[in-house]
Amino acid sequence: MNYEALRVPLDYDLRPLAMMLAGRGVPHQISELQGEQVVWVTDETTAQAVQSLHQRMASGEIELTVEPSEAPVRQPSRATTFLPVTLLLLVLSILGAALVTFSTEGMALLTYYQINAVEDGYVLSSAPDQYWRWFTPVFLHYGLMHLVFNGLWTWELGRRIEFKQGSMTLLIFTVVSGVFSNLAQVWYTPGQLFGGMSGVIYAYLGYIVVWQRFRPTPAFSLPKGIVVFMLAWLFICMAGFTEMLGLGSIANAAHLGGLIAGVVLALSGLAVQRLTGR
């Protein structure tokens, strides 16, 4: 359901409209978003038809009543809609954090570089044939705060993309942006271990902001404070303030690379939609 057909207050009874659409075999979904009810449909033509039907029902031209005793129509919201890819990313991030804490051998399978033990510690070496390593560092989280911070933003931003554009879109987007942000970090600081979803999260941010700029939708409507905070945090990290404060080094290239990847992928998606007339 990619098109917003109608938006009404929470106390507005949409059951007559929902029953009418169901009776006519019109695929639709009703969700609660930002304190309002939103009717979603599959395409722009259907959205226009729903708007026309609603106007005719509101004017009394078409009448359908619902008895109080009738069961209400279920209205799933974005918060309760099953979002398998977003949930999978959270679970894998938790498992990655557990590997960092409890299993060096397990962690070594997901790092970009191979970890080879030597007498005085370990050395890192490239693994050119193990392509999964280009992506899997996104699941490695070094510490509880790292995991919680990235988990919250994965849920807040990733679920918006999955809810609006589908699970497959989020999955492909996550893999592509994860690879791009990881390779950016490898290029900028070769020979160093790194990990976390931060690069992908900044890709989510760039993607959502660009889509919202050119194709506004309630699902991508972020409070300005969130965008300002995340961009300010990116600047603070790149300026080196986190290291000055003793918070450790940050994968700045992954953050910036992810942001760029998100913007580019959003512009590409918009261009494809324009070319195909969607």
pLDDT higher than 50, residue 227 = yes
Give the tens place of pLDDT for each residue, 16-49.
888 888 878 888 888 877 677 888 888 888 888 8
Number of domains into which the chain is organized: 2
Percent of the chain with pLDDT over 70: 88
Residues making up the chain, counted from first to last: 278
Of 81, 106, 134, the position where a domain reaches its end is: 81
Average pLDDT rounded to a whole number, residues 155-175? 95
- Determine the pLDDT at residue 69: 41
Of 81, 105, 134, the position where a domain reaches its end is: 81
What residues pair up with 8 in beta bridges, in sequence order? 37
Q: In this structure, what CATH number is given to the domain that contains residue 248?
A: 1.20.1540.10
Query: pLDDT confidence of 245, banded at 50, 70, 90?
Result: low
Out of 59-73, 217-231, 234-248, pick the least confident.
Answer: 59-73
For residues 235 and 197, the model is more confident at: 197
Instruction: Count CB neighbours of 163 within 10 A.
Output: 23
Same domain, 129 and 233: yes
Q: Are 77 and 32 in contact (CB under 8 A)?
A: yes
Give the tens place of pLDDT for each residue, 74-120.
444 454 467 999 999 999 999 999 999 999 899 999 999 998 877 67
Same domain, 52 and 138: no
Of 25, 47, 81, the position where a domain reaches its end is: 81
Instruction: Dump the DSSP string for the chain.
Output: --EEEEEEETTS--HHHHHHHHHTT---EEEEETTEEEEEESSHHHHHHHHHHHHHHHTTSS-----TTSPPPP---TTTS--HHHHHHHHHHHHHHHHHHH-HHHHHTTSSSEEEEETTEEEEE--TT-GGGGTGGGG---SHHHHHHHHHHIIIIIHHHHHHH-HHHHHHHHHHHHHHHHHHHHHHSTT-----SHHHHHHHHHHHHHHHHHS--GGG---HHHHHHHHHHHHHHHTTHHHHTT-----HHHHHHHHHHHHHHHHHHHHHHHHHT-
Same domain, 172 and 271: yes
Rounded to two decimals, the pTM is 0.72
Same domain, 52 and 110: no
- Domain housing 133: 84-276
- Determine the pLDDT at residue 24: 82
Same domain, 129 and 17: no
* Alpha-carbon distance values, 216 to 21, 31, 171, 219, 265 (Å): 25, 17, 22, 9, 17
Which residues belong to the active site? 198, 255
Average pLDDT rounded to a whole number, residues 180-198? 94
- Determine the pLDDT at residue 131: 95
Same domain, 15 and 133: no
Q: In this structure, what CATH number is given to the domain that contains residue 20?
A: 3.30.70.2080
Same domain, 129 and 229: yes
Same domain, 107 and 231: yes
Same domain, 145 and 163: yes
